[in-house]
């Protein structure tokens, strides 16, 4: 490295994309620093996203099982199970601090310098981090995303009444009535937590179905299951305003197509209509960069921007805002900078909704295949026919396999099951190797496991499942 640069690589942001890119770059022998303005590493995902939400989802599932009497059919009689919300939150915080501390340890182990402070460009090689100015040969922008605000609705996480996803992770008490504005992944996950802990939950979704972008059959079946659990789901409905008086919020809603306004009274309102890239405040123009009309930075296949030594990954570039996608891109971009060939197969990024049951998908939906005019075959197998699911009294959901009608190559798989997030990995790997439905059907699956439903759905593509 020449004397004019302090670092070979400077990563801006330490979320799943940024910290992975920094560690991989250091492993490849590049002198690396990572700029992060939070007090802890790990970005949204670790601090106020994937990790704390999973901690609460798990804890709330355990509470509901114990409290609802669901375990009595297994001969486990529990009476007087009580909720200690403070302890549940403390356990969540412990999980977060353990993991954020783990990244700090990995930085030290791999000799990555953590520059503490907000970063902004001075020019294409110079970045100001807090009061310090550093120069780097290559710069990776991995600043992630933030909650998209809803015009006219003021979020104040401190008061715990109108909150975003961050505030919903630490409500001071279980609300009697929680209104979710948005029926997407984040709202349904966090809504699930508070519903299990005793809240009445109403979902207000502008579109005609929840879970936008997912396979149509999955969306219908999920809505049915969530309604059975007690969610009140209002689709085709828009929020026109939220007012707060004392400890209560009033949510004004009307049909999306227009019509009479009605109001909902709530103790807590969660605004979760999506996320927007964190590109403001970076002074991109000083580096010669601009964003597209969605505030994203456009990149080529190697994640390079229009300025050759500046790269971008994760939520700040077009594509699904998923932590695991950012991680893969972090490894790939570091390898590209080091002169290797970093590859991410963007056609095979799995998506998971961590509700109960979980919902997982990979590849194309039926709607996408129809729109593209692709002839396909479909195999579907319900967990009602799976021996392990029946034994566990865990029969909600199905596996659906979509395969090319001519080549039999698997084009998409959609799973609703308590174990869907783990089960999808098998299919992603099979698709990465270009598997046909027959390949999966003739692969031996251990018995009795939920995964046998994947094999049976693949057998169903050719109309030959055994257990239905």
187 is in an annotated binding site: yes
**Does 1 count as an annotated binding residue?**
no
> How many other C-beta atoms can be found within 10 angstroms of the C-beta atom of residue 404?
16
Annotated binding residue 183: yes
Contact 458, 381 (CB under 8 A): no
- Please indicate if the annotation marks 371 as binding a ligand: no
Flag whether 191 is marked binding. Answer: no
Is 91 annotated as ligand-binding? no
The answer on whether 143 is annotated among ligand-binding residues is: yes
118 is catalytic: no
3-state helix, strand, coil in the chain (%, to 5): 35, 25, 40
Known binding residue 417? Answer is: no
- Residue 395 annotated as part of some ligand binding site: no
Here the tokens at position 64 are 């509901």
Instruction: List, in sequence order, every residue forming a beta bridge with 387; answer none if it has no partner.
Output: none
Are the CB atoms for 40 and 107 separated by under 8 Å? no
Q: Which of 67, 346, 447, 467 is catalytic?
A: 447
The structure tokens listed for 462 are 């050719």
CB of 8 closer than 8 Å to CB of 137:
yes
182 is in an annotated binding site: yes
State the Rg of the chain over Cα.
24
Q: Is 287 annotated as a binding residue?
A: no
The answer to whether the annotation marks 315 as part of a ligand binding site is yes
186 is in an annotated binding site: yes
User: What pairing do the DSSP bridges indicate for beta strands 410-417 and 358-363?
Assistant: antiparallel
Q: Report the first-to-last Cα separation within the chain, whole angstroms.
A: 64
Rounded Cα distance, 95 and 98, in Å? 5
Peptide bond into 448 cis (omega under 30): yes
Rounded Cα distance between 121 and 133, Å, is 9
Sequence ranges of the binding site: 54, 143-145, 182-189, 205, 274, 315, 321-324
Catalytic (active-site) positions? 447
Sequence ranges of the binding site for FAD: 54, 143-145, 315, 321-324
Sequence ranges of the binding site for NAD(+): 182-189, 205, 274
């Amino acid at each position: 490295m020449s004397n004019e640069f302090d670092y070979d690589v400077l990563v801006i942001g330490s979320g799943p994309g940024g910290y992975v890119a920094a560690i991989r770059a250091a492993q490849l022998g590049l002198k690396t620093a990572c700029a992060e303005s939070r007090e802890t590493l790990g970005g949204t995902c670790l601090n106020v996203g994937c990790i704390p939400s999973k901690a609460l989802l798990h804890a709330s599932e355990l509470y509901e099982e114990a409290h609802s009497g669901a375990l009595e059919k297994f001969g486990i009689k529990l009476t007087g199970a009580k909720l200690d919300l403070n302890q549940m939150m403390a356990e969540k915080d412990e999980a977060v601090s353990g993991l954020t501390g783990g990244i700090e340890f990995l930085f030290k182990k791999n000799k990555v310098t953590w520059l503490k402070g907000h970063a902004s460009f001075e020019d294409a090689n110079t970045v100001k981090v807090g009061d310090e100015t550093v120069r780097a040969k290559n710069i990776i922008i991995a600043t992630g995303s933030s909650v998209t605000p809803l015009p006219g609705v003021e979020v104040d996480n401190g008061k715990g009444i109108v909150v975003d996803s961050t505030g919903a992770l630490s409500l001071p008490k279980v609300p009697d009535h929680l209104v979710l504005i948005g029926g997407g992944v984040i709202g349904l996950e966090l809504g699930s937590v508070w519903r299990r802990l005793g809240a009445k939950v109403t979902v207000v979704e502008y579109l005609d179905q929840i879970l936008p972008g997912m396979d149509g059959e999955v969306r219908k079946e999920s809505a049915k299951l969530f309604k059975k659990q007690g969610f009140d789901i209002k689709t085709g409905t828009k929020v026109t305003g939220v007012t707060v008086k004392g400890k209560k919020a009033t949510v004004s809603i009307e049909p999306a197509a227009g019509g009479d306004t009605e109001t909902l009274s709530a103790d807590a309102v969660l605004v979760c209509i999506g996320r927007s890239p964190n590109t403001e405040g970076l002074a991109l123009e000083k580096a010669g960069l601009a964003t597209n009309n969605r505030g994203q930075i456009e990149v080529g296949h190697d994640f390079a921007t229009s300025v050759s030594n500046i790269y971008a990954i994760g939520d700040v570039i077009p594509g699904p805002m998923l932590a695991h996608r950012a991680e893969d891109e972090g490894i790939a971009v570091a390898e590209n900078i080091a002169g290797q060939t970093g590859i991410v197969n963007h056609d095979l990024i799995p998506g998971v909704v961590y509700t109960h049951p979980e919902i997982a998908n990979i590849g194309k939906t039926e709607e996408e295949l129809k729109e593209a005019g692709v002839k396909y075959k479909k195999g579907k197998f319900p967990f009602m026919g799976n021996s392990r699911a029946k034994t566990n009294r865990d029969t909600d959901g199905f596996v659906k396999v979509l395969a090319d009608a001519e080549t039999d190559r698997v084009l998409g798989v959609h799973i609703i099951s308590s174990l869907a997030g783990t089960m999808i990995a098998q299919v992603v790997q099979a698709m990465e190797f270009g598997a046909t439905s027959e390949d999966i059907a003739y692969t031996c699956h251990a018995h009795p496991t939920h995964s046998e439903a994947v094999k049976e759905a693949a057998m169903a593509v050719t109309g030959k499942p055994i257990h239905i």
